[in-house]
Chains A and B, each alone.
Chain A
Amino acid sequence: MSKGAMTLAEGSQAEKYKTDATLILNGTEERQYTLRTAFDSLSVWKAKYAVGMSPFYPSLKTTIKEAALVDNDIWVFGVDGTNPQHIIEAVNIATTFYQVTAREILSNIYIKNLNTEDEPKYDDLDFIVRLNKDLYRSTTEAIREACRHFGINHNINIHVYSANINQKIPQKELHEALKSGGASSVQTDPRGFTFKSGNNLGNKSARIKTNMHVARLEF
């Protein structure tokens, strides 16, 4: 059992909006080390969510140098989950900060309602689904590549929160996307969950019903 976890594409740091990194298939697990990452740069993120904080700059030589401690979790900003190098750098920051192995952080990965930034431009629903599928596929591939970089040789679970009937990417399409990204299997937890979730711009949010899908990467 790993006590660490990593999240991708975080929005607001408010408790109700943070990605739940404690749920596992049919259960829960306590976390001691959670690395949270946001797509936005720190300045954009602060402007969106009106958070005042002083960032700290990790002494590591990375291209992503924006990290901050928020409610006892390390947050790394400017992390594009489809870019393996970004994931690797974020994990390096976390392993240095928490003094744990990359395996500890990467064993459990969490993603909530990933959406393409371009969605509102398109009228064609099939096209939106295709874009979102692409996003999940390339994120899974990037995670796989980052795991290889760290020489991970055990299974990794990617937990995705998305409603089974979410029209932006329904369950079947989500599972296809995760598998085409390299997952050996994908299971949907039988429990239903209710979370708050925000849009990419950080100016709209909703409380929605959701499901958890667990994709397994085998090495």
Chain B
Amino acid sequence: MPTFWIIDTKVQVLPKSSLPQDGSNYYFGRSVVPEDSKEEAIAKLTAALEEDFMTVVEVTSAVDHESKIWDSKEDEDFETNESLEKSKLTGNIELGCFISELSLEG
């Protein structure tokens, strides 16, 4: 049974990425990655995002999902719980919803 890692990233997105965009410099994600080690999980997520022209510029956090309850307002925005449920069901990476820098400014 792999660990389900919850990884927070700050990414830069090329216009040709399929991610819907608003001209922000950065987008923030909280993704779920099933993998044995944290390093492997980060590498797998980075590669998955790169495929769609999203470059990880910073990993701000990477923790075992069991280390806390993912029910904050932020988690609602990132859809953390939905991602966790899906990932446990399918065994796949679940990227969650990215939050644009501009949308954080209100």
Is B36's CB within 8 Å of the partner chain A? no
Give chain A's interface residue range (CB within 8 Å of chain B): 20 to 34
Instruction: Return chain A residues, CB-CB under 8 Å to B58.
Output: none
Chain A proximity of B102: nearest CB distance (Å): 4
**A120 to B16, Cβ gap below 8 A?**
yes
Q: Interface 1/0s, chain A 18-37, versus B by CB < 8 A? A: 00000000000000000000
**A120 to B21, Cβ gap below 8 A?**
no
Is B98's CB within 8 Å of the partner chain A? yes
Interface centre among A199, A206, A208 (most CB of B within 10 A): A206
Q: Which of B1-9, B22-30, B63-71 contacts A (4 or more CB under 8 A)?
A: B22-30
Q: Interface 1/0s, chain B 1-44, versus A by CB < 8 A? A: 00000000000000111111111100100000000000000000
Instruction: Tell me the A80-135 residues at the B interface (CB within 8 Å).
Output: 113, 115, 119-120, 122-123, 125, 128
Instruction: Return chain B residues, CB-CB under 8 Å to A205.
Output: 19-20, 97-98
Residue of B nearest to A197 (CB): B20
Question: Given the interface contacts A198-B20, A207-B100, does A168 sit within 8 Å of B52 by beta carbon?
Answer: no
Is B50's CB within 8 Å of the partner chain A? no
**A166 to B21, Cβ gap below 8 A?**
yes
Is A51's CB within 8 Å of the partner chain B? no
**A199 to B20, Cβ gap below 8 A?**
yes
Instruction: Return chain B residues, CB-CB under 8 Å to A201.
Output: 18
**B18 to A204, Cβ gap below 8 A?**
yes
Chain A positions near chain B (C-beta within 8 angstroms): 113, 115, 119-120, 122-123, 125, 128, 163-168, 194, 196-201, 203-210
